[in-house]
Amino acid sequence: MIRFTAFLASLLFAGAVAAQAYPNRAVKVIVPWTPGQATDIAGRVVAERLQAALGQPFVIENKPGAGGAIGSDAVAKASPDGYTLLAASSGPLSIMPNLQKTPYDPLNDLAPISLVASTPFALVVHPSFPANNAKEFIAAIKASPGKYAFSSSGTGATAHLFTELFNSMAQIEARHVPYKGSAPALTDVMNGQITYTIETVAATAGHIKAGRLKTFGVSTAKRTGALPDVPPLAETAGIPYDAAAWIGYAAPAGTPREILARLSAEIQKALQAGAMKERMVNIGLDPVWSTPEEMAAFMKREQERYGTIIRSANIKVEP
C-alpha cells in the first residue's frame, strides 16, 4: 500500500513538473475553417495572448473542409502532449454528429480546455417588411402559413437550426431556402427575394447599422456587446428563446490534466482583460470562459440540444 501511494505521488509530481515545463516549443493550433471565419479570428486572438503569456509560438494552421470535420479529426487523432490544439466550434462538434457519421466522437476524442466566445445571432428582414417588432412579425407570418421563406447558410447549418427553433417556438411556418454561405443568404434578404433569416451578429451588424436590414432582436437571452441597443428576441417576441453558437479551445483526449488546467487559466485571464473583451465585441462575439470540466458539461448539453432541434424539424443532409 505504501509503495502504491508513493507511486501515485510520483505520478502527480511528474505531471506537475511537466505542466511547469510546458510549453518548451511551438504549439500548433488547428483551425478547421478558412481564414477570416469567426472561429479563425477568435482562435488567432486567443493564440496571440497564449503566446505572450507562455513565451512560445502558438502557430495557427488552417485545415478547412467537410464542415470543419477534417481539422477537428486531425486534432482528435494527434498526440495528446499539448502541442496540437483545436480552435473548436459548435458546427463540427455539437451539430454535425447529430446529422451524419463523423470520424471522431467529440465527447470522447477531445479534451475541452475553455470556452472562448459566444456567437449571437439576429433575426433580420428587409427594411420594408410591414412589422415594427417581433410580435408583429410573428403575427404577419402566422397570417399566411407557407407564404414566406427564410434563408440559411446551408441545410443543417447553425443558422438553419436556430431559425427552425425560433419558428417552432413562435409557432410559425415558412419555407427554408438553403444557400452556400451566409453572404448569399443575407444578400437575398436585402434584395427582397427572401423574407427573413436568423444569422450571426458578426455578419448582420454592419447591414443593420447601414439600414440595409431591419432587426427584431438578437438570439441570446441578454443583449450583445456588438448591438447593445437591440433587445433579445425572448423579450420582443415573448418566447423563451435563447440560442448562440460557441467557440472554444480543445486538445486531443489524454492530454495531461495539468496542461489543460494551465491553458484554461491563461485563456480565462486573457478574456477577462478589457482589451480582449473589446476585440471580441468588435468582431461580433461575446467573450466567455470556463474550466475544462465546465466546457465538457456544456458540450454534452449542446450536443443533446441540437439533436432535439434536428429531430423535431426532421432535418436531414445528403450523405
Please, which pLDDT band fits residue 11 given cuts at 50, 70 and 90?
Answer: very low
pLDDT classification of 10: cutoffs 50, 70, 90? very low
pLDDT of residue 145: 86
Question: What's the pLDDT at 319?
Answer: 60
* pLDDT-derived band at 196, boundaries 50, 70, 90: very high
Question: What is d(CA 182, CA 135) in angstroms, rounded to the nearest whole number?
Answer: 25
Nearest to 220 by CA among 197, 236, 204: 236
In this structure, which topology does domain 120-236 adopt according to CATH? D-Maltodextrin-Binding Protein; domain 2 (3.40.190)
% of the chain exceeding 90 in pLDDT:
87
Q: Does 13 have pLDDT greater than 80?
A: no
Share of the chain above pLDDT 70, in %: 93
Mean pLDDT of the residues in the chain:
93
What pLDDT is stored for residue 9 in this prediction?
47
Q: Where in the chain is the domain with CATH 3.40.190.10?
A: 120-236
**Burial (0-12, 13-18, 19+ Cβ within 10 Å), 143:** exposed
**What cell numbers appear for 298 in the block?**
456544456
Q: In this structure, is the dihedral angle defined by the CA atoms of residues 125, 130, 131 and 137, taken in order, positive or negative? A: negative
CA gap 117, 295 in Å, rounded: 12
Ranges of CATH 3.40.190.150 domains, the chain: 2-118+245-313
Q: Are 99 and 317 in contact (CB under 8 A)?
A: yes
Pick the CATH number of 2-118+245-313 from 3.40.50.720, 3.40.190.150, 3.20.20.70, 3.40.50.300: 3.40.190.150
